[in-house]
Structure 1
Amino acid sequence: MNTALKHWKEAATIVLTAGTRHKVDVDSLPKTPEKCSSLSASNLPHKSAFDYEVLLLKRSSKSGFMPNAYVFPGGLLDSSDFSSEWLDIFKAFSKFPNFGLGCVKQPAETRPPIFATDRLKLGSPIPGDVALRICALRETFEESGVLLALPKMEENSLLKTVDNKRDSNQITSPPHPLKVNDLCDMNELVKWRALVNRNPSNFIRMCKALELLPHIWALHEWGNWLTPTGFDRKGWRYDTAFFMCCLQEVPHTFEDEKEIVHFKWSTPSEILQAYKARELWIAPPQFYDLSRMCCLTSLVNLHNFASQRAAEGCEQWLPIWLVTDSCRLSLLPGDKLYPVDGSGHVNIDTNIPLEDSQGDESKLHRLIFLDSYNISAQVTITPKYNHLLPFAGPATKRVPNSLL
């Protein structure tokens, strides 16, 4: 953990997808990001166009952060995620960069701090890329009961894969969506889950006792969101690493009876339509990423895209809120109004001159909020690091012309 952070707590989350069997023969959407940018909520793909679903967990009404929201599984980094005890578990992989995960192409100076921070200087022998994934896997197990791990007996096979990927300078990842096997008796798993919920360091104990490897290689770097000022009424803010993980089949899932009160497996379009119908509430990062996923209705395509794109790296996104008489805007990096200084750093103290925003109308990267359930995405920029664009709703007349 980076205890020197003043404004954010570090966290990690997984966009967990799993295969189903109700996909139509032909995808209802084009696959190119350029075409996906023109989609609107009115022409989302039908649920039958998807052969996978996404896991969302409903937070308790008593949760300190985003109560009642549907979120991807994940949570705060813990000191145990950086424990030297992990060196024993990943001993066979310690000779490889990032324990065999490989390295991204993105220059170090442009990497988001959550990925670029030298954890060794902070006293941890565990690389940040590894610890973030351990956190995401641990939190997913705590919240949903889904344990993404490999039995130790598969270690040699995985080592060969890592070696081959290293020789070809590729990021290590499963060649196909991951098959989740029964790793132990369900009663044993329930017992360990309770222990891990009680103390995160028990995740290490569990992996040792059951001879398991947390499957860090199945998690593909997807994005990095920072909570903006004023988003949460208690002032809680998070620097969150997002990972994509694709499973062959929907695994057994059950609530933790603590923070999580309900879970939901649905297609991205179903979730977005339920959100628009005010049947559930999701935060802007979930809205944006689910919108992106509507461009890839095939699980294999999503897995291939996520695993290959992860080698490019990602961009740190701190949304900047702009309030007008008729709506709220959430400005994202690359938007013509996004406040950055000469060195490219976000300057949140800058007054954004709406009257001077008529200039370059080609650079839009924003979410427009008419209310908490009525959002449209306006994106005309080219996404960095070979990422997907979300679908974008048509411009509304209630938005001032100076903001379009």
Structure 2
Amino acid sequence: MNSTLKHWREAATLILTAGTQHGNIIPKIQHLPRPQKPAFDYEVLLLKRSASSGFMPNAFVFPGGLVDTSDFSNDWVKVFERFKHRPNFGLGLVKQHPSTRPPIFATDRAEFGSLIPGEVAFRICAIRETFEESGVLLVVPEDSNIEDNQNFLEMDGHDEGALDKWRLEVQKNPFQFIQMCKEMRCVPNIWALHEWANWLTPTFSRGSKSRRYDTAFFICSLQKKPHATDDQKEVVSFQWWTPPDALEECRSQKIWIPPPQFYELSRLCRQSSIHELHRFCLDRALEGCERWMPVFIHAEDGIVNVLPGDDLYPEEPDWTGEKKRILSTIEKIKDLVREDHRLHRVLQQDGVPAIYVNTKPKYKHIHPLTMATCHGGEPRSQL
């Protein structure tokens, strides 16, 4: 772990996508009418946080949480014995130039006494937290091949009673996750998790003591939905939704999805096929990503979350919050959206978010689509 951090803590989260049975059925009747919206053949797991949570209460989020010292424990070297001599335990080396690599990935963990690369430890964290919060265990036998693990992960049958006991043990003490893998002769399937994004919690208004996290986002694709259960602690319920359906629930204000999750679900709207999404993730697995810290601008009738690349994004953002900057404008939301501007922002008006972006994505990534495009029709300008 990075013990030098002062203003935020490191975390990892997992965008867990899984195919739906009806999406894999080929209709026997030909010449069917063209559907009004793309038929998504996969869903995404979202967990509802407890109302008593100190961070994002009642929000629907991806599984994940804070990194623990156990995730960087050198005891993992024994678990990954067959892979320890490969770059990043077989994950490979990211092509992104080190000078532009997000600190959460670029930090040399050996400086803190860990033999576990950050690329590995944050995946372990995401897998462990997913197990703790949802009961979904992403592991493979210790003698499996990396090449097989990178493909669709089929969940093998486990003794549910034994897993329930281990889940409770891991929730009490994350170091038990290492012991569980040793006794079950399995390894966390880090190779099925692909780097997706990096979000840093923004600074807020003067005097705010809101928690801040530097979070690595990974994505994993399964052929079918695994069995999931809430823990009635941090997580009070869970739901599998297609990306457009989750966004529609949010836009209709039936649920709340925080801006980073809203943005990433909107990206997934570009891919309606689980196979296409999986292939895209494999193709860009070693490209890298940017660290994004939204900057809030308070408009007359709403809030603008400005992201890197936008004309309104500061040249020197207040990363730490020590400057206590509060950006504001007397303009209205609609006046802040002009076609001659570089746009990369999430607007929130009356509690309803909307994404505007016309910049070019980096590292072979994809930009999000609006709800209108997600639900059918030809892709159109975000303006």
Would you say 1:258 and 2:233 are equivalent positions? yes
| Contact kept in structure 2, 1:223 and 1:315, CA below 8 Å | yes
The verdict on how the C-alpha distance between 1:60 and 1:45 changes in structure 2, with shifts beyond 3 A counting, is farther
| Contact kept in structure 2, 1:180 and 1:248, CA below 8 Å | no
Determine the structure 1 residue equivalent to 2:376.
Answer: none
SS at match of 1:142: helix
Determine the structure 1 residue equivalent to 2:297.
Answer: 322
Determine the structure 2 residue equivalent to 1:189.
Answer: 163
| Contact kept in structure 2, 1:362 and 1:381, CA below 8 Å | no
Equivalent residue in structure 2 for 1:93, among 83, 106, 116: 83
Distance 1:358 1:300 in 2: 35
Alpha-carbon displacement from aligned partner over 1:10-43 (angstroms, at most 9, x marks no partner): 00000000000333979xxxxxxxxxxxxxxxxx
The verdict on how the C-alpha distance between 1:239 and 1:84 changes in structure 2, with shifts beyond 3 A counting, is same
Letter of the 1:376 counterpart: A
Distance 1:293 1:134 in 2: 23
Would you say 1:268 and 2:243 are equivalent positions? yes
Determine the structure 2 residue equivalent to 1:21.
Answer: 21
Determine the structure 2 residue equivalent to 1:34.
Answer: none
Equivalent residue in structure 2 for 1:384, among 357, 362, 373: 362
Distance 1:393 1:369 in 2: 14
Displacement of 1:345:
8.8
Determine the structure 2 residue equivalent to 1:174.
Answer: 150
The verdict on how the C-alpha distance between 1:358 and 1:84 changes in structure 2, with shifts beyond 3 A counting, is closer
Q: Which has the higher contact order (CA 8 A, sep 6+)?
A: 1
Determine the structure 1 residue equivalent to 2:353.
Answer: 375
The verdict on how the C-alpha distance between 1:189 and 1:282 changes in structure 2, with shifts beyond 3 A counting, is same
Determine the structure 2 residue equivalent to 1:334.
Answer: 309
Displacement of 1:347:
9.4
Would you say 1:207 and 2:197 are equivalent positions? no
Q: How many residue pairs are counted as aligned between the two chains? A: 358
Letter of the 1:371 counterpart: D
Distance 1:63 1:214 in 2: 28
SS at match of 2:22: coil
Determine the structure 2 residue equivalent to 1:218.
Answer: 192
Determine the structure 2 residue equivalent to 1:288.
Answer: 263
Displacement of 1:116:
0.4
| Contact kept in structure 1, 2:298 and 2:329, CA below 8 Å | no
Equivalent residue in structure 2 for 1:149, among 139, 142, 148: 139
Displacement of 1:330:
0.3
Displacement of 1:102:
0.2
The verdict on how the C-alpha distance between 1:352 and 1:360 changes in structure 2, with shifts beyond 3 A counting, is farther
**Structure 1 segments unaligned to the other structure (5+ residues):** 27-43, 163-172, 395-403
TM-score of the pair, normalised by structure 1: 0.83
| Contact kept in structure 1, 2:153 and 2:222, CA below 8 Å | yes
| Contact kept in structure 2, 1:45 and 1:269, CA below 8 Å | no
Equivalent residue in structure 2 for 1:69, among 48, 51, 59: 59
Equivalent residue in structure 2 for 1:109, among 99, 104, 107: 99
Equivalent residue in structure 1 for 2:73, among 55, 62, 83: 83
| Contact kept in structure 1, 2:346 and 2:353, CA below 8 Å | yes
Moved more, 232-241 or 185-194: 232-241
Distance 1:308 1:230 in 2: 36
| Contact kept in structure 1, 2:65 and 2:125, CA below 8 Å | yes
Letter of the 1:84 counterpart: N
The verdict on how the C-alpha distance between 1:4 and 1:305 changes in structure 2, with shifts beyond 3 A counting, is same
SS at match of 1:225: strand
Distance 1:332 1:220 in 2: 22
The verdict on how the C-alpha distance between 1:310 and 1:345 changes in structure 2, with shifts beyond 3 A counting, is farther
Alpha-carbon displacement from aligned partner over 1:124-166 (angstroms, at most 9, x marks no partner): 1110000000000000000000000001242xx33xx39xxxx
| Contact kept in structure 1, 2:248 and 2:371, CA below 8 Å | no
Displacement of 1:49:
0.7
| Contact kept in structure 1, 2:203 and 2:318, CA below 8 Å | no
SS at match of 1:137: helix
Distance 1:247 1:201 in 2: 26
Displacement of 1:335:
0.2
Would you say 1:127 and 2:117 are equivalent positions? yes
Distance 1:92 1:283 in 2: 39
SS at match of 2:47: strand
The alignment yields a C-alpha RMSD, in angstroms, of 2.6
| Contact kept in structure 2, 1:377 and 1:393, CA below 8 Å | no
| Contact kept in structure 1, 2:203 and 2:320, CA below 8 Å | no
Would you say 1:51 and 2:29 are equivalent positions? no
Q: Percent identity?
A: 51
Letter of the 1:364 counterpart: L
The verdict on how the C-alpha distance between 1:45 and 1:5 changes in structure 2, with shifts beyond 3 A counting, is farther
| Contact kept in structure 1, 2:297 and 2:329, CA below 8 Å | no
Distance 1:188 1:346 in 2: 44
Displacement of 1:392:
3.5
Equivalent residue in structure 2 for 1:248, among 223, 227, 247: 223
**Structure 2 segments unaligned to the other structure (5+ residues):** 28-34, 373-382
Displacement of 1:277:
1.4
Distance 1:210 1:244 in 2: 25
Would you say 1:7 and 2:37 are equivalent positions? no
Distance 2:338 2:43 in 1: 41
Letter of the 1:368 counterpart: L
Displacement of 1:371:
2.8
Letter of the 2:217 counterpart: F
